[in-house]
Amino acid sequence: MPLAMSKAGDELMVARVGGNEEAKKHLEDLGFVAGAHITIISQLGDGNIIVNVKESRLAITSQMASKVMVVPQT
Protein backbone atom coordinates (compact mmCIF):
# COMPACT_ATOMS: atom_id res chain seq x y z
CA MET A 1 0.00 0.00 0.00
CA PRO A 2 1.24 3.56 -0.57
CA LEU A 3 2.64 5.40 2.44
CA ALA A 4 0.08 8.15 1.81
CA MET A 5 -2.71 5.74 2.86
CA SER A 6 -1.25 4.95 6.29
CA LYS A 7 -2.31 6.56 9.54
CA ALA A 8 -0.60 7.93 12.64
CA GLY A 9 1.03 5.25 14.78
CA ASP A 10 1.52 2.74 11.96
CA GLU A 11 4.86 0.93 12.00
CA LEU A 12 5.80 0.02 8.45
CA MET A 13 8.61 -1.29 6.28
CA VAL A 14 9.44 0.17 2.87
CA ALA A 15 8.80 -2.42 0.15
CA ARG A 16 9.84 -0.27 -2.82
CA VAL A 17 10.12 3.30 -4.04
CA GLY A 18 8.53 4.34 -7.33
CA GLY A 19 8.45 7.46 -9.46
CA ASN A 20 10.93 8.99 -11.85
CA GLU A 21 14.68 8.74 -11.22
CA GLU A 22 14.88 12.18 -9.61
CA ALA A 23 12.06 11.40 -7.16
CA LYS A 24 13.52 7.97 -6.33
CA LYS A 25 16.95 9.47 -5.67
CA HIS A 26 15.48 12.17 -3.44
CA LEU A 27 13.47 9.67 -1.38
CA GLU A 28 16.42 7.28 -1.10
CA ASP A 29 18.62 10.16 0.09
CA LEU A 30 16.04 10.80 2.83
CA GLY A 31 16.25 7.15 3.93
CA PHE A 32 13.27 5.62 2.12
CA VAL A 33 15.01 2.49 0.84
CA ALA A 34 13.67 -1.06 0.59
CA GLY A 35 13.75 -2.69 4.01
CA ALA A 36 13.81 0.58 5.99
CA HIS A 37 11.56 0.66 9.05
CA ILE A 38 9.42 3.77 9.44
CA THR A 39 6.79 5.00 11.89
CA ILE A 40 4.03 7.45 11.04
CA ILE A 41 4.18 10.25 13.63
CA SER A 42 1.25 12.29 12.33
CA GLN A 43 -0.77 13.04 9.26
CA LEU A 44 -1.57 16.69 8.70
CA GLY A 45 -4.93 17.91 7.41
CA ASP A 46 -3.51 18.80 4.00
CA GLY A 47 -2.32 15.20 3.44
CA ASN A 48 1.33 15.79 4.35
CA ILE A 49 2.90 13.18 6.62
CA ILE A 50 5.50 13.34 9.39
CA VAL A 51 7.45 10.09 9.65
CA ASN A 52 10.27 8.72 11.75
CA VAL A 53 12.88 7.09 9.50
CA LYS A 54 16.43 6.16 10.50
CA GLU A 55 16.08 7.96 13.84
CA SER A 56 15.07 11.22 12.12
CA ARG A 57 11.72 12.92 11.77
CA LEU A 58 10.84 14.01 8.27
CA ALA A 59 7.85 15.73 6.73
CA ILE A 60 6.94 14.70 3.20
CA THR A 61 4.12 15.71 0.91
CA SER A 62 1.30 13.34 0.14
CA GLN A 63 2.46 13.33 -3.49
CA MET A 64 5.91 12.04 -2.49
CA ALA A 65 4.37 9.63 0.05
CA SER A 66 2.29 8.06 -2.72
CA LYS A 67 5.55 6.95 -4.41
CA VAL A 68 6.66 4.92 -1.37
CA MET A 69 5.12 1.43 -1.14
CA VAL A 70 5.05 -0.01 2.38
CA VAL A 71 4.03 -3.18 4.20
CA PRO A 72 3.24 -3.59 7.92
CA GLN A 73 6.22 -4.44 10.14
CA THR A 74 6.17 -7.91 11.61
CATH of the domain at 13: 2.30.30.90
Q: How much is the pLDDT for 73?
A: 86
Q: How much is the pLDDT for 1?
A: 92
- Domain hosting 16: range is 3-72
Residues 62 and 2: beta-carbon distance below 8 Å? no
pLDDT tens-digit series, residues 24-67: 999 999 999 999 999 999 998 777 999 999 889 999 999 999 99
Residue 2 DSSP symbol: B
pTM: 0.88
Residues 17 and 32: beta-carbon distance below 8 Å? yes
CB atoms within 10 A of CB 64: 21
Question: How many separate domains does the chain show?
Answer: 1
Q: How much is the pLDDT for 44?
A: 85
| Angle subtended at Cα 31 by Cα 29 and Cα 36, rounded to the nearest 5 degrees | 150
Dist. CA 8–CA 16, nearest whole Å: 20
Q: How much is the pLDDT for 46?
A: 79
Q: How much is the pLDDT for 69?
A: 96
